[in-house]
Structure 1
């Protein structure tokens, strides 16, 4: 545990002397709006596919139950 504290102290002393720069980049707003539209479209598609998967699983369970009942009678 003391080794971690020592490394953190060394990192703090190294960073103090250097000027801080922000990691943000200048981005064209038209590009970011287009990207958000694409991400929204993809998230809608993923939610539709997830719903279809759930519905398919439920239908498979119903079929298994009916087949089990049919074979036991």
Structure 2
């Protein structure tokens, strides 16, 4: 029995564990291909970048307004507490 062509192991020489591993590899490769087709890489053009920057600024403004509102509410609560305890 000579060496197998291209370094492949003949099917008869493979153990059941090796067959199971190769089966799992086929399944994993199929799932990776499905995942790769679902993932879309976008480079983004100038319009997208402009709208993203605008949204980022809007989110920053809203976050600042939320913080200011929270601080004002705390000040009101403190004044009301002081007024009611006197």
Corresponding position: 1:42 with 2:19 = no
Over aligned residues, Cα RMSD in angstroms? 3.1
- Runs of at least 5 residues in structure 1 that lack an aligned partner in the other structure: 1-5, 17-21
Corresponding position: 1:63 with 2:55 = no
Task: Assess, with a 3 A threshold, how the Cα gap between structure 1 residues 44 and 9 changes in structure 2: closer, same or farther.
Answer: farther
Task: Assess, with a 3 A threshold, how the Cα gap between structure 1 residues 10 and 33 changes in structure 2: closer, same or farther.
Answer: farther
Q: TM-score, normalised by structure 1?
A: 0.61
Q: Which has the higher contact order (CA 8 A, sep 6+)?
A: 2
Corresponding position: 1:33 with 2:33 = no
Higher Cα Rg, which structure = 2
Q: TM-score, normalised by structure 2?
A: 0.53
Runs of 4+ in 1 over 4 A off after TM superposition: 22-25
Matched length? 59
